[in-house]
Amino acid sequence: MSYEIKEDGKFKYIEEGVGEPLMLLHGLFGALSNFKDLIEHFRHTHKVVVPLLPLLELDLLHTSVGGLQKFVQRFIEHRDYKNIHLMGNSLGGHVALVYVLKKPERIKSLILTGSSGLFENGMGDSYPKRGDKEYIRNKTSLTFYNPALATDELVDEVFEITNNRMKVIKIIALAKSAIRNNLGNELNQIKTPTCLIWGKNDTITPPFVGEEFHKLIPNSELHFIDKCGHAPMMEVPEEFNRILEEFLLKMKS
């Protein structure tokens, strides 16, 4: 199912359903397709909001975790969302963490899956020569426990981005910003109830990263999903949605 992309001022986003906002922040190579099962499931109980993050549209100076956090802050204030359940995958989780540290008052709960902010294996030390599609296919398949999920469509999306010099420069800038912006010393300040959902076979933010987040964020719970990589909401959507639904039900009581 495809959803209408709405526009309000400078912002593009999906908004489906009614209820407390469940806001989803995608990662560095993320797309709206990453969340399709999640949107479909939760639009019956929540207002599911997916802002299109300007990963490659910000000027180079603001192409950073901080720049994306400011964009999300402007979006939330412009739309006047309150009691938000804020979820982020990978880089999106990192942005969500920085937002909660700076502006906790609008956030009711925080959900992180494969989040950066402590440690992540990125593209590695080398970056592909432009036009090396097989390299991109191999790197994309590392996102998943089941490499078959790196479909031609997904590989083509990533390949198109990495074939553009300025986009590559911005991706590297974001990846370096994520590594520099380590939140280890600040996470104990988070008072927001937090749900950590981690793939047991995540090679990008391995299981020990989920355990470290759990140790450092006071009011947090940690769930591992077996035979699952860096994007649980794509790879095992039913299990992911079940864990998230149970957590959100607790937030009502």
pLDDT category at 124 given cuts 50, 70, 90 is very low
Q: What is the pLDDT of residue 136?
A: 84
3-state secondary structure 49-107: EEECCCCCCCCHHHCCHHHHHHHHHHHHHHHCCCCEEEEEECHHHHHHHHHHHHCHHHE
pLDDT category at 129 given cuts 50, 70, 90 is low
Six-digit token string for 125: 């030390």
Mean pLDDT over all residues of the chain? 92
Q: What is the pLDDT of residue 36?
A: 92
223-244 mean pLDDT: 97
State the Cα–Cα distance between residues 170 and 162, nearest whole angstrom.
10
Q: What is the pLDDT of residue 139?
A: 82
Considering only CA atoms, which of 135, 122, 131 is closest in space to residue 27? Answer: 122
Helix (H, G, I), strand (E, B) or coil at 248: helix
The string of pLDDT tens digits covering residues 165-182 is: 898 899 889 989 999 999
State the Cα–Cα distance between residues 193 and 219, nearest whole angstrom.
5
Higher confidence at residue 28 or residue 16?
16
Out of 107-111, 140-144, 188-192, which region has the weakest mean confidence (pLDDT)? 140-144
Q: What is the pLDDT of residue 253?
A: 63
Out of 55-59, 114-118, 205-209, which region has the weakest mean confidence (pLDDT)? 55-59
State the Cα–Cα distance between residues 220 and 199, nearest whole angstrom.
17
Give me the domains of the chain, ranges plus CATH numbers. 8-252 (3.40.50.1820)
